[in-house]
Amino acid sequence: MVFVAVSPDGKRHEWTLEDEDYQVGRADGQTRPYHLAVEGDPHLSRQHFSVRLHNGRMQVRRNPGARNPIFWNGQENDAFEIKVGQFFTTGKTQFGLRRQQAPGELTLFGFSKEKARLRRLQDCFDAVIQLLERLRKDPTSSTPWRPAFEVIHNLLPRVEQLLFVEILGSKQRVLDRQGEGEESIPGELVRQALEQYSTVTLVTQSHSPETDQTVAAIARWRVLSPLHGLESSSYALSASGSGYLEPEDLEEVAAIIDLVAELVGHHLVVQQASEYSNLLGVFGHHVGTLFKTSGALRLWNDRSQSPEVRGVIHHLLPIWGVSQAISLHKKQGEQGALPADWVLPGWNDPPAVLASLRSLVAYLHSSVQSEPPFLPWWLEGQPLALEESPLLSLPPLNDNPVVLDKTLALTIGLVEMLNNLRKYPEPRGAGREDRRELAELPEEERRVHFRCYLEGETAVVELEQPVVTTGDGSIPQSRSLDRIRALESRLLGALVETGRTEKVSVTSLEHILRVRQRWIYHWGRLCR
C-alpha cells in the first residue's frame, strides 16, 4: 500500500508502508524512524496523527496534541479507517491510500485534480460548454462518448487514440475507438481505476532521468477515467498519446479527460434511467393486461374458490397496483397531466368516497381466508363480521364498480397497509411470540379500530392497533410501506399518502403500545 499526501502547493509525497505504526506531521528538518514528514503545510503539527495498515485498510488516529482537526467524509473525526481510493484532509493537506503502482503509473488524487483544473480553467470551461451543447442536440443519445471524442480532440490535440469500453467483470467490450493504437486497455489499469474510482495515468517505456516524478517521460502515455452507470454497469474512457510530457502537463490532460468522463457518465445514467422508465411502463401495461385476461380478477372475486387460490391472488394485488401506478406515471409524462376521462364530469358526492373506503376495509377483512384476523377489526365502533362485502370503485374515478386499474393504482398503499395488518402477527417465527404477548391483553385492548372521515376535499382512513415494540422499545416499521410511500410521491403525484406510524398510548403491558396510521386520499386534487 502507498500512502499519499498532496500539500497546498500541489506537491505530492508518497510512502510505501509496511505493517507498522507511523507518525505523520509537519517536516521539521529531523529524520526519525517511522515518521512521515510533509513539507509545505504549517497547519500540520509535528506529530499530527498516526496511521497503520490492517487487513487492506488504513487506520487513522489523531494525536491529542494536534493543533487542527481531521476531516473525514466532511465531518471532524479523530479515529477512522480508509480503504484504497479514499481521502481525508487536515491542515491544508489531503491524504489518501492507493495500491502499489507500476513504474510510470499515477493516480489523479483530489487536490492534484483541482489544481490541474484551475491551471487549465478555460479549457475545462470550454469542455463543459462544448459537450453540453452537443449532448443537448440529441438528449436521448445512447452514444454520448462520440461528441466527447470530438471535444477532447479540439482541446487536446496531443491525444492520438481514444477508446470507450464497457467493463464486464474481467473482460472489456470496446464500444467505440478513434485513432491508431492498442486494441484494449491494460486490465490491471482498469481494475485499479474502478477500485479507486479515480482517474489514473500510465507512462511506459523510457523514463526521463533526474526526476522524482515517474510520469515525466519520453514514451507512450495513457489516461484512463472510470464511469459508473445504473445497475452496477461500469465503463472507462481512455486517451493515449506519445511524446514528452512534464508531470504537470500530464496532470492537466488527466484533469480534462476526468471532467469529460464525468459529464458523459451523468448523461449515461439519465439515458439509462429513461430507458428503464419506458420498460417499467411496458411492464405495467402487460401486468395489468395479464390480470384482466388471465381470469385472475374473476378468481379473486369468486367466493367459491379455495382460500389458497384467493390468498395467492390477493398477495399479487400489490404487484398489479404498482404496475398500474407505473403506467399512470408514464401517461402523465406523455400527456402532461391526468387524462381528462379519468374523472367523472360533474361528480359531487363526497359521502360516496367514504362508502367506497369502508367497503374496501370490510372486503379485505374477509376476502382472503375463512377465519378472521388474529386481531379483531372494528369499523366505526362496530365489529366487522366475516361475511361477503361489496367492493366499490373509488370515486370520482370513471370506472366500473369493481377494483380495476385506476382504483388499485391509487389504493395500493391502503391495500398493503391492510395486508400487513391482516397478517400481523403471523403464527410462525417471531410472530408466535407476539401472539402470546398480545393474547395477554384484555379483549378491548386487542381491537383494531378503523375510522373513515372527510377533511374538506380529502378522505382519511385511520387505523389504531396494538403492536409489540422492538428490543429497544421502538415501533416496528414496514419496509414495504416505505417503498410504497416513494411510489405515491413520485408516480402518483401525491394524490394519496400512506402516513408514518405514530404512538397513541400505552397498554396494560409496558412493551405493547397502541399506534395509529393514516391513509389519505386527495380526491379534490384529483377532480381539479
Q: Say whether pTM exceeds 0.75.
A: no
Confidence (pLDDT) at 205: 53
* Domains, the chain, with CATH or none: 2-99 (2.60.200.20), 106-272 (3.30.450.40), 296-527 (no CATH)
Nearest partner of 516 among 474, 465, 470, judged by Cα: 465
Mean pLDDT, consecutive 10-residue stretches, the chain (528 aa), reads: 81 84 87 87 90 88 90 87 84 83 59 76 89 83 87 91 87 86 78 73 56 50 85 86 80 89 89 72 69 73 77 79 77 66 86 93 79 91 86 84 77 89 82 88 95 96 94 83 81 87 93 95 90
Confidence (pLDDT) at 522: 94
DSSP β-ladder status, 22-26 and 35-38:
parallel
Confidence (pLDDT) at 210: 47
DSSP, residue by residue, 454-469: EETTEEEEEEEEEEE-
CA 311-313-316 angle, 5° bins:
110
Amino acid identity at 105: E
- Here the cell at position 377 is 377489526
φ and ψ of 415, to 5 deg? -60, -45
